[in-house]
Amino acid sequence: MKDSTHPDYHQITVVMTDGTEFLTRSTYGKEGDKLHLDIDSKTHPAWTGTHRMVDRGGQLAKFNKRFAGISGKKEEADAAPVAVASSEKIKLTTTASSAKKKA
């Protein structure tokens, strides 16, 4: 077996979200490095059954800033009705037969 074809496999410390640590072997980093987890089996919704937003790199804040003015709530749309003068109102025809009768 060639020495240069395989990565260095060494012991590291994994730090869970609640601060607990355990030793494992990995190709991550160097001998003795610590791997700090953002999501693990104690916080992931698949194991806990609860949803928690994790904002890594400001992606959630960027999304909220970009779409802050958009809302799908019906109450906000109904809260500020726009007044239209009667002369500006348009009569809509719903059927083709009523359009033929007028012609």
pLDDT digits (tens, 9 = 90+) for 11-34: 999 999 889 999 999 999 999 999
Do the beta carbons of residue 56 and residue 38 sit within 8 Å? yes
Edge-to-edge order in the sheet of strand 34-36: 21-26, 10-15, 34-36
Helical H segments across the chain, by residue range: 45-48, 59-66, 74-79, 96-102
More confident residue, 64 or 54: 64
Which among 74, 55, 75 is positioned nearest to 65, based on CA atoms?
55
- Residue 97 to residue 20: CA distance in whole angstroms: 76
Question: Apex CA 56: angle with CA 48 and CA 20, to 5°?
Answer: 50
Task: Indicate yes or no: pTM above 0.85.
Answer: no
> Can you tell me whether residue 86 is helix, strand or coil?
helix
pLDDT attached to residue 93: 53
- Residue 9 to residue 1: CA distance in whole angstroms: 15
pLDDT attached to residue 12: 95
